[in-house]
Structure 1
């Protein structure tokens, strides 16, 4: 395994912060779906921890950090309690939550890529797991809430693309031997910036070329 590029204590608290922010989005979705407090906690835990758990299992980093450090489980529970009592106020700061969510996305796509590479995966596989780390929890959250994952919806602002950008840049830096704490933060900042610009300007991925514009057009006999 390669030497860690971030101090383990710093990385730990950055992970906790990202997990907490993602967990808030999961708990808020549970409120919108009229789930009880247990459902809120489940969505918060899944959203915050899902991507990292998937990555750690794939690369063989077992038991995953979420099962060896109680803080990883406590952060989503604290987020659940916050949303349970203060959700009307939390709803008002959705824009701020989106900013922190974008920061978590940028951080996790980079950290996930680096960790996968440290465990011996190639650059492409490492970048894929960087994307999974950043977006996996949100996909699981949406599936459990019986919604089409935001990752797959054309009517949502770009989410996967910023993570792909950050993970790809990280992989290229690894390949060039130029990855260090500064360049790693720059890659995370780039993913963060792309996500913020997508939110600001409503950027979306293109749909199929010359697709029919309405559901009715696609029905048999139409």
Structure 2
């Protein structure tokens, strides 16, 4: 199994766990758990593959991804009540999922020889859209849209770091690992230390 496939698999499983945890907060039944977990797990990768015109979409080519996501949902369904703070678990698991999904998107775009701008955007899309769908469906405030939250900016920085690594002539696997490390370091720092980006604040009109 090559590194991009490992990254896709890891992102599917971890994003599925976050989807199931959010479903538990919404008190859904087991079918709802599976639906939200699968939506979260493959949502970003599906949009990525459709935009890159990759056929078939990765989980259609390998349906085991859906089975792994469903298994994760069932596991959370029977164990979620044991967790003291499910939201805390969602936030941290989501940070790991972001860190593996972004380089998976970068790898997919590089494989199809896309422009660097597209490579960065595909990394961002793969890392963020599944979680965005999850939060919207479960009526949660999307993590990616919270005020000042370092989230999509982490994905962008990670993807750019991976491209810069390639410019130094290093192997693609090294670039993907740099991408993952940069993404997670920034996201973890945001969670732990409260790093954030400036938020627009309107001013009252002058008299």
TM interval, shorter chain, is: 0.7 to 0.9
Count the aligned residue pairs: 205
Superposed, 1:157-172 pairs within 5 Å as 157-172=149-164
* Counterpart-to-counterpart distance in 2, 1:137 and 1:199: 20
Supply the RMSD in Å over aligned alpha carbons: 2.3
1:199 to 191, 198, 202: 191
* Counterpart-to-counterpart distance in 1, 2:192 and 2:29: 33
- Structure 2: 5+ residue runs without aligned partners? none
C-alpha contact 1:45 1:76 (8 A) present in aligned 2:
yes
1:211 to 174, 184, 202: 202
- Structure 1: 5+ residue runs without aligned partners? 1-6
* Counterpart-to-counterpart distance in 1, 2:168 and 2:107: 14
* Alignment deviations for residues 116-155 of structure 1 (CA, whole Å, 9 cap, x no partner): 1221320001100100001110011122123342211206
Partner of 1:110: 103
Residues 78, 91 of structure 1: alpha-carbon distance in 2 compared, 3 angstrom cutoff: farther
* Alignment deviations for residues 143-179 of structure 1 (CA, whole Å, 9 cap, x no partner): 2123342211206x42112111101112333455434
* Counterpart-to-counterpart distance in 1, 2:25 and 2:12: 20
* Counterpart-to-counterpart distance in 2, 1:58 and 1:177: 28
* Counterpart-to-counterpart distance in 2, 1:110 and 1:144: 25
Residues 106, 187 of structure 1: alpha-carbon distance in 2 compared, 3 angstrom cutoff: same
Aligned-pair CA distance for 1:26:
0.9
C-alpha contact 2:19 2:37 (8 A) present in aligned 1:
yes
C-alpha contact 1:114 1:170 (8 A) present in aligned 2:
no
SS at structure 1 position matched to 2:23: helix
Q: What is the TM-score normalised by the length of structure 1?
A: 0.82
Superposed, 1:14-29 pairs within 5 Å as 14-29=7-22
Structure with the greater alpha carbon radius of gyration: 1
Residues 140, 166 of structure 1: alpha-carbon distance in 2 compared, 3 angstrom cutoff: same
* Counterpart-to-counterpart distance in 2, 1:30 and 1:100: 15
* Counterpart-to-counterpart distance in 1, 2:34 and 2:44: 17
Q: What is the TM-score normalised by the length of structure 2?
A: 0.87
Aligned-pair CA distance for 1:79:
1.2
